[in-house]
């Protein structure tokens, strides 16, 4: 049967949405999807940080007809050129280009800013964007330190601007359905929630010598408030996340996404204590600083949350390379980006002999059928149009809670101590840990004030 162009577009879009792979969405297909709208209805967007998830977020947002991209900002000319060419494939005229994000924020044509830069830039760029009167979609984790996270939360809460954090699983229907089941009580008393990321695709980061700054790169602007160091390819695009100056490794990369749902399911906030064990066990001699293997335990009053990650291994808990499980007396719910299922416990009698009946009905895998990222950006834009922050699926508090415990886990690992948090003083009770609470800005950049 002849397939029309309209049928092809619909089928291709559905396939991309089901996989949640907006960063792979063909620009040519985007051109065919977009429809013209009145200039009065347009929401004009500027993107800061165009190389990774920032452009995925923009691509997702551009599926909404009202969205126009009017400016790109990146410290790398080659990235700006590539993304401009990508947008032209979608029939979008070349946007204005900036290498200094402050110049982009001065642009009065921009209503909404997407922040897709490395973690160590998020606090400055978010607070500056709020001062410039912009609504903001900010990638996770919200910050590279506990202190920055606290500042960002306070600044957003004092603002009337819409701020969505890029924890897009909060908009994924099957995640929400799974949490409804967790909260139904059917699992019985839940003693433990696990979250994990086993990343078999991750290879060692080879030790490389320092090198000249690539042509067209403003390296001083890339470093920003981070410690001044010679340029090294290992610390640049993508691999920055394995170095403490700029990020927190898998703990704050995948951990923020997955621990967020452990917190959500358990109605949990700040833990009583945290301890962590791990190290560079897979690739002890590579260039990265953050641990490639880690187990972290968060203590609450009547349950614990356990985080695990490992690089170079795919076979994680329940045969999944990532996920969250809620382990109850009656059964376990297992959840990942592909779907969720319930595995029942089988009853035992007093002689520890198996009974025939499980304690609850098995729920077979309920598969994901939608793009969480697309739903997340749509949720954000609806909140922008309605000027209603209560509509946001991932407001600043969601980003704060997930970032806070992820940083707790890293601090526990780096000190080797079991840590207790004093919520009133906003400090750890252990002096060894408090040096990791504060942000330390360099190169003339100043930490935003509350």
Kindly state whether residue 448 falls inside one of the protein's structural domains: no
Confidence of residue 9 (pLDDT cuts 50, 70, 90): very low
Residue 242 DSSP class: G
The larger pLDDT score, comparing residue 157 to residue 19, is at: 157
- Please tell me whether residues 156 and 246 are part of one structural domain: no
- Domain containing residue 121: CATH number: 3.40.50.720
- Please tell me whether residues 205 and 343 are part of one structural domain: yes
- Please tell me whether residues 33 and 126 are part of one structural domain: yes
Kindly state whether residue 386 falls inside one of the protein's structural domains: no
- Please tell me whether residues 178 and 208 are part of one structural domain: yes
Kindly state whether residue 209 falls inside one of the protein's structural domains: yes
Q: What is the mean pLDDT of residues 233-238?
A: 94
Kindly state whether residue 224 falls inside one of the protein's structural domains: yes
Confidence of residue 39 (pLDDT cuts 50, 70, 90): confident
Kindly state whether residue 226 falls inside one of the protein's structural domains: yes
- Domain containing residue 425: CATH number: 3.30.360.10
Q: What is the mean pLDDT of residues 31-45?
A: 88
Instruction: Report the C-alpha gap between 174 and 146 in whole angstroms.
Output: 31
Window from 7-11, 140-144, 229-233 with minimum mean pLDDT: 7-11
Q: Are 46 and 110 in contact (CB under 8 A)?
A: yes
Please name the helix (run of DSSP H) or strand (run of DSSP E) that holds residue 293, with its range, or none: strand 293-299
Q: Supply the pLDDT for residue 297.
A: 98
pLDDT tens-digit readout, 413-428:
999 999 999 999 999 9
Asked if the model's pLDDT at residue 6 lies above 90, the reply is: no
Q: Supply the pLDDT for residue 24.
A: 57
- Please tell me whether residues 197 and 144 are part of one structural domain: no
- Please tell me whether residues 288 and 330 are part of one structural domain: yes
Asked if the model's pLDDT at residue 352 lies above 60, the reply is: no
- Please tell me whether residues 209 and 352 are part of one structural domain: yes
pLDDT tens-digit readout, 247-273:
999 999 999 999 999 999 999 999 999
Q: What percent of the chain has pLDDT over 70?
A: 93
| Phi-psi region at 147: left, alpha or beta (left = phi > 0; alpha = psi -120 to 50) | alpha
- Please tell me whether residues 214 and 307 are part of one structural domain: yes
Q: Are 213 and 219 in contact (CB under 8 A)?
A: yes
Q: Supply the pLDDT for residue 2.
A: 41
- Please tell me whether residues 75 and 138 are part of one structural domain: yes
Domain's final residue, options 117, 144, 169: 169
DSSP character string of 194-216: EEEEEETTPPP-------PPPTT
Q: Supply the pLDDT for residue 15.
A: 39
Domain's final residue, options 111, 138, 169: 169
- Please tell me whether residues 113 and 186 are part of one structural domain: no
Q: Supply the pLDDT for residue 354.
A: 59
Residue 90 DSSP class: T
Quote the number of domains for the chain: 2
Asked if the model's pLDDT at residue 21 lies above 90, the reply is: no
Q: Are 249 and 410 in contact (CB under 8 A)?
A: yes
Window from 80-89, 346-355, 388-397, 415-424 with minimum mean pLDDT: 346-355
- Please tell me whether residues 178 and 164 are part of one structural domain: no
CA 365 distance to own-chain centroid: 25
Q: Supply the pLDDT for residue 26.
A: 82
Q: Supply the pLDDT for residue 233.
A: 96
Kindly state whether residue 32 falls inside one of the protein's structural domains: yes
Q: What range does the domain containing 348 cover? A: 172-368+397-434
Q: Supply the pLDDT for residue 348.
A: 66
Q: Are 314 and 304 in contact (CB under 8 A)?
A: no
Kindly state whether residue 384 falls inside one of the protein's structural domains: no
Confidence of residue 34 (pLDDT cuts 50, 70, 90): confident
Max intra-chain CA distance, the chain: 75
Q: What is the mean pLDDT of residues 414-443?
A: 96
pLDDT tens-digit readout, 374-407:
999 999 999 999 999 999 999 999 999 999 999 9
Q: What is the mean pLDDT of residues 305-327?
A: 97
Q: Are 187 and 330 in contact (CB under 8 A)?
A: yes
Kindly state whether residue 73 falls inside one of the protein's structural domains: yes
Dihedral angle over CA of 145, 326, 181, 366, nearest 10: 100
- Please tell me whether residues 245 and 153 are part of one structural domain: no
Residues 6+ apart with CB under 8 A from 113: 45, 46, 47, 48, 104, 105, 125, 129, 134, 135, 136, 137
């Amino acid at each position: 049967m002849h397939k029309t162009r309209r049928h092809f577009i619909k089928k291709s879009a559905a396939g991309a949405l089901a996989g949640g792979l907006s960063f792979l969405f063909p620009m040519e297909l985007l051109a065919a999807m977009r429809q013209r709208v009145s200039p009065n209805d347009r929401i004009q967007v500027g993107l800061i940080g165009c190389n990774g998830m920032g452009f995925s977020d923009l691509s997702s947002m551009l599926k909404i007809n009202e969205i126009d991209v009017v400016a790109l900002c990146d410290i790398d000319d080659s990235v700006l050129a590539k993304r401009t060419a990508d947008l032209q494939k979608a029939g979008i005229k070349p946007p204005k280009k900036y290498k200094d994000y402050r110049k982009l924020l001065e642009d009065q044509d921009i209503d909404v800013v997407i922040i897709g830069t490395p973690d160590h830039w998020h606090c400055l760029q978010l607070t500056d964007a709020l001062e410039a009167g912009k609504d903001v979609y900010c990638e996770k984790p919200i910050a590279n330190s506990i202190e920055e996270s606290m500042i960002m939360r306070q600044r957003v809460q004092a603002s009337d601007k819409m701020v969505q954090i890029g924890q897009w699983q909060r908009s994924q229907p099957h995640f929400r359905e799974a949490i409804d089941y967790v909260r139904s009580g059917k699992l019985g008393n839940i003693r433990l929630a696990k979250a994990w990321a086993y990343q078999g695709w991750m290879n060692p980061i080879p030790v490389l010598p320092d090198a000249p700054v690539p042509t067209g790169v403003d390296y001083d602007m890339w470093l920003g408030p981070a410690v001044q160091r010679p340029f090294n390819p290992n610390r640049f695009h993508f691999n920055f996340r394995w170095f403490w100056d700029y990020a927190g490794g898998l703990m704050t990369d995948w951990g923020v996404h997955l621990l967020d749902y452990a917190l959500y399911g358990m109605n949990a906030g700040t833990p009583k204590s945290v301890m962590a064990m791990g190290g560079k066990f897979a690739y002890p001699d590579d260039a990265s600083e953050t641990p490639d293997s880690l187990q972290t335990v968060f203590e609450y009053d009547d349950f614990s949350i356990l985080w695990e990650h490992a690089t170079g291994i795919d076979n994680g808990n329940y045969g999944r390379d990532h996920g969250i499980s809620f382990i109850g007396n009656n059964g376990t719910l297992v959840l990942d980006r592909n779907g969720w299922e319930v595995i029942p416990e089988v009853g035992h009698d007093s002689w520890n002999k198996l009974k025939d009946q499980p304690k609850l009905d098995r729920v077979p895998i309920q598969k994901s059928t939608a793009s969480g990222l697309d739903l997340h950006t749509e949720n954000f834009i609806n909140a922008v149009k309605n000027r209603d922050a209560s509509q946001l699926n991932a407001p600043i508090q969601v980003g704060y809670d997930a970032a806070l415990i992820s940083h707790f886990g890293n601090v526990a690992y780096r000190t080797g101590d079991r840590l207790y948090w004093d919520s009133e003083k906003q400090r750890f009770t252990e002096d060894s840990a408090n040096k990791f609470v504060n942000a330390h800005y360099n190169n003339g950049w100043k930490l935003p004030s509350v």
